[in-house]
Amino acid sequence: MSTAASTGTPVATTGTPMAPSRPDFWSRLGNTLGRILGFLLRLIFILLLAVALGAGVYFGLPWVYRALVQPVQTHTAQIQELFNRVEGVRAGVEESQNAQNTRLTTLETANDAQRLQLDAAETEVSDLTTALAAETAAREALAAQLTDMQSQLDDQAAANNDTQSAVAALAPDTEANTAEAAALKLQLGLLRLENDLLRAHLQINAQNFGDARATLTTTVSAMQAFVETPGAFSADTQTTLTIRLRAAASLIEAEPAAALTDLDSIWAEMERSLGGS
């Protein structure tokens, strides 16, 4: 095999190698223009596609936003607002329920306290009714006692009158008449003191303590003067009665009833002393 054949170069039949054939100018120009036109067409297509995509993006994204995203956001905001309102309503209901429960508890507590107060008031009314009945009975007994004391006072007044008449009728000429007159005067003094004590009893039983204190003060002075009557009592008796009268006088302001009891006892001792002498 020859060198020419191995290189693929055509050779002439005569054995001389031939020059390779070249495309002409127009063919090359056509090919170049074709390639340029194809490139331009592809470029224009790409630009149009890019413009279309940009326009789609420019006009499509707002539409997609308005058509899809914005309604979702709006619905989400509305749902959140509704949720917040529901939560607010629920919180308000819970707060109202708690307030109602608190008020109910307060009312129940107040109702229990009022029930206890009512029970206590009913018990107090019952006690007051019983006390009123007892007070009424005591006042009725006191009225009967006052009537009896008034009768005694009338009897003492009549006895005083009789004694005064007897004293006036005595003849002072003889010694016997003088002694009898002195004894009658002592009895008359005792009766007057007893009348004062009865008056004090009436005043204390009527709960007129102001007048009772005044009567008792006057009676103590009268009894002290009676004790100091010459020849009526012995010296020891006078001392004892004076001490007791002072003790009774110290009780008049604070405890007039106790003072009256002591004066009754002193009057009884005076009567016994005069009766014995």
Please state the rounded mean pLDDT for residues 236-251: 91
pLDDT per residue over 153-184, tens digit each? 677 667 666 666 665 665 454 445 566 777 77
| CA dist., res. 1 & res. 3, Å (int) | 7
Check residue 174 and give its pLDDT.
46
User: Could you tell me the pLDDT band of residue 139, with boundaries at 50, 70 and 90?
Assistant: low
| CA dist., res. 220 & res. 167, Å (int) | 25
Check residue 261 and give its pLDDT.
93
Check residue 267 and give its pLDDT.
92
Check residue 143 and give its pLDDT.
67
pLDDT value at 215 more than 50? yes
Check residue 179 and give its pLDDT.
66
Residues 6+ apart with CB under 8 A from 4: 11, 17
Check residue 39 and give its pLDDT.
92
Could you give the 3-state DSSP secondary structure of residue 17?
strand
Of 38-47, 53-62, 207-216, 258-267, which range is least confident? Answer: 53-62
Check residue 266 and give its pLDDT.
92
pLDDT value at 12 more than 80? no
pLDDT value at 258 more than 50? yes
What is this structure's pTM?
Answer: 0.41
Check residue 243 and give its pLDDT.
93
Check residue 1 and give its pLDDT.
39
Q: Hey, which residues does 25 pair with through a beta bridge? A: none
pLDDT per residue over 25-79, tens digit each? 888 888 888 899 889 999 999 999 888 888 888 887 788 788 778 888 888 888 9
Q: Hey, which residues does 17 pair with through a beta bridge? A: 11
| Averaged pLDDT of the chain | 80
pLDDT value at 213 more than 70? yes
Of 28-42, 106-120, 181-195, which range is least confident? Answer: 181-195
Structure tokens that stand for 252 in this block: 């008049």
| CA dist., res. 142 & res. 204, Å (int) | 11
